[in-house]
Structure 1
Amino acid sequence: MSLPTSQGSYSEPAVTGFPVAYPQAPPAQPKAQAQVDWSTGLCDCFSNFQNCCLTCWCPCVTFGRVAEIVDKGSTSCGASGALYTIICCFIGCGWIYSCMYRTKMRRQFMLKDSPCCDCLLHCCCEPCALCQEYRELENRGFDMVIGWQGNVDQNRGVAMIPTAPAVEPMSR
């Protein structure tokens, strides 16, 4: 951009060392993807009776399995389930921890926030919410018993082992 001088001609602006920001068009916003319904209803617990019983008697196992898949293996089933149990034992509100995973799962799979918000759902009906999350992951092809790494190995080939990038020698 050039500026007018006293003679009316244009010249380049003086370099001051200060960055000059010129107005630009705002970046285009990505289009929001449509949210989809859950594959099963909240009260379809008896479609997987075995998981329904497990969740009723030991919700920490169901939660741990869901958390491991949602976290893509960064936390183990055992660690998540143990933390859930500790929270339940000491403050009696494991739903506070589990509702965060429902929200994370909904965002990953673009699921609708229904029939109500995640925290209210886990507070009022924790076993049904955990069973629904478990069934959703099963219906998406995950074998919940073998965990994240087992699913990676079984369904998508052997997991990639992280390695350092190859370094090429420098030349001048």
Structure 2
Amino acid sequence: MGSMGEPPVASNHQENQSQPLGRPWSTGLFDCHENQTNAVMTAFFPCVTFGQIAEVLDGGEMACHLGSFIYLLMMPALCSQWIMGSKYRTKLRKKYGLVEAPYTDVISHVFCSCCSLCQEFRELKIRGLDPALGWNGILAQQQARQYQGETQDVPPPAQAMSM
């Protein structure tokens, strides 16, 4: 038993449970310089970056051009593109168990939409799902890797000496 001034052990356990669980993002929210091509593309055409991310996260069910079009339509409507952006950011975080940091998904997309899209793009690319390739490009890349792995593991055919 501790003295009266010490907090009980149970409250320390509760404090630890209230902290966000999950892994950190591979790159920071403001690390756009790490992929300059994507940063420039997102600055001028955020709808394209969103479409690429949505296509990958939806496993090809939403085509890039459809996602881009939806995002583009929402931009003039009271700048409501943050709704779709934060929805897909949440989807990405849950898929990979990432923390909701440094801000909530909604706040990130309301105030830093381009930085958020760039961070999401980089996260997928680092995880081997390059949004710039599109879903079909990612599948083709995975099949090529699988094929290369199979051909490298095959031993040479049996050889015999002939006389």
TM-score range for the pair, normalised by the shorter chain length: 0.7 to 0.9
Of the candidates 32, 38, 41, which is equivalent to residue 28 of structure 2?
41
Name the counterpart of 2:95.
Answer: 108
Percent identical across equivalent pairs?
A: 40
Structure 1 residue 148: Cα displacement: 1.0
Moved over 6 A (4+): none
Q: CA deviation at 1:146?
A: 1.8
Q: Distance in 1 between matches of 2:46 and 2:87?
A: 16
- The equivalent residue for 1:85 is 72
Report Cα offsets for 1:66-90 as digits up to 9, x if no partner: 1100111110000000000001123
Aligned residues: 125
Aligned pair partner of 1:142 in 129, 151, 157: 129
Amino acid at match of 1:143: D
Contact 2:121–2:130 (CA under 8 A) maintained in structure 1: no
RMSD: 1.5
1:58 to 42, 45, 58: 45
Amino acid corresponding to residue 106 of structure 1 in structure 2: R
CA–CA distance in 2 between the matches of 1:39 and 1:141? 12
Q: Distance in 1 between matches of 2:126 and 2:133?
A: 15
Task: State which of 151, 154, 170 in structure 1 corresponds to 2:141.
Answer: 154
TM-score, normalised by the number of residues in structure 2: 0.73
Higher helix share: 2
Aligned to 1:98: 85
| Higher RCO (CA < 8 A, seq sep 6+) | 2
Structure 1 residue 91, shift from structure 2 partner: 3.0
1:123 to 101, 110, 121: 110
- Please report how far the alpha carbon of residue 143 of structure 1 lies from its aligned counterpart in structure 2 after TM superposition: 2.4
Amino acid paired to 1:54: M
Q: Distance in 1 between matches of 2:136 and 2:22?
A: 28
Q: Which runs of 5+ in 1 are unaligned?
A: 1-33, 158-172
- Give 1:156 shift: 3.7
TM-score, with length taken from structure 1 = 0.69
Unaligned runs of 5+ in 2: 1-20, 145-163
Q: Which has the larger radius of gyration?
A: 1
